[in-house]
Structure 1
Amino acid sequence: MEPTADPLPRLRALCMALPEVTEKLSHGEPTWFVRRVFVSYADRHHDDVLGFWCAAPPGVQEELVAADPQRFFRPPYVGGRGWLGVRLDVDVDWEEIAEIVTDAYRQIAPRKLVALLGDVNGR
């Protein structure tokens, strides 16, 4: 799979488009918060993977890693809590990334903020 152009601006735009999201550096990497962390960029910080880590609904990490280990992984530190690692140094499906980011937001954001999203993608 071919790497995509610098994915950070596109990932940042997806995260910042969600209600009340802020960006801060955490452990030297851009990280997005909605009260708590929901997505953290990973620019080869812990390994040689360019990607991000995010909150995920129960069972999603196992499902996606099993289905496509070239694109998804169990990230260090937070993988044991069900967080998902997503590679951005491969051919990236940005529609899928947008869904993953929105699902991460839904896991962390307060209900009143999640309600602002409406019934996106039938969820």
Structure 2
Amino acid sequence: MGHPIMFDAADPLLARLRQVCLALPDAAEKISHGRPNWYTTKVFAVYGGSVKGDHANPLLSRALLFLPDPEERAALEQDERFHVPAYYGPAGWLALPLDDGPDGGDPGPDWDEVAELVESSYRQTAGTRRVARLDDERGRARD
């Protein structure tokens, strides 16, 4: 028996995150364990997760789960917006709730920051050829 679907397909946060993730070279989406996952060879982003020890807590139900750059991890852990998600946390992943604005209000996430976090996670998991393609695309976009 598969996992139940744990997201709303019409969620506008999911739609925006999907755009960010699928803009990366060779990125694809699959549903795994009831949640959207974006991957190339390995998963680089997940929409939604659980709080370790309290799966009923909705804090991470609409969060970006990502693998932070090891050099940035300590700084992100000091930021109260970031959390260690259940299951993914032991592998070094963090979670950023998307349904709470950058200042704790309603305006929503900082999508530039979300895109940076997704790209950083992608760079760690996608392999050198895909990262080179991404760099090439980014270079052409600046020209």
TM range (shorter): 0.7 to 0.9
Higher strand share: 1
Q: Which has the larger radius of gyration?
A: 2
Report 1:22-101 matches (<5 A): 22-42=28-48, 46=55, 47-49=57-59, 50-66=62-78, 68-69=79-80, 71-91=81-101, 92-101=109-118
Shift of 1:117: 1.4
What are the Cα deviations for residues 9-60 of structure 1, in whole angstroms up to 9, with x where unaligned?
1100000000001100011111101111110110669431220211121143
Provide the secondary structure at the position in 2 that maps to 1:73: coil
Q: Give the superposed CA RMSD.
A: 2.1
TM-score (norm 2): 0.72
Q: Give the Cα–Cα distance (whole angstroms) in 1 for the partners of residues 84 and 50 of structure 2.
A: 15
SS at match of 2:135: coil
Among 13, 19, 23, which residue is 1:17 paired with? 23
3-state SS of 1:99 partner: helix
Query: Does 1 or 2 have the higher relative contact order (CA < 8 Å, sep 6+)?
Result: 1
Q: Distance in 2 between matches of 1:82 and 1:60?
A: 12
Percent of matched pairs sharing the same residue? 40
5+ residue gaps, structure 2, are 1-10, 102-108
* Whole-angstrom CA distance in 2 between matches of 1:12 and 1:44: 20
2:122 counterpart of 1:110:
no
What's the CA shift for 1:78? 1.6
Quote the Cα distance in structure 1 between the aligned partners of 2:114 and 2:12. 15
Query: How many aligned residue pairs are there?
Result: 115
Segments of 5+ residues of structure 1 without an aligned counterpart are none
Which residue identity is paired with 1:57?
Answer: D
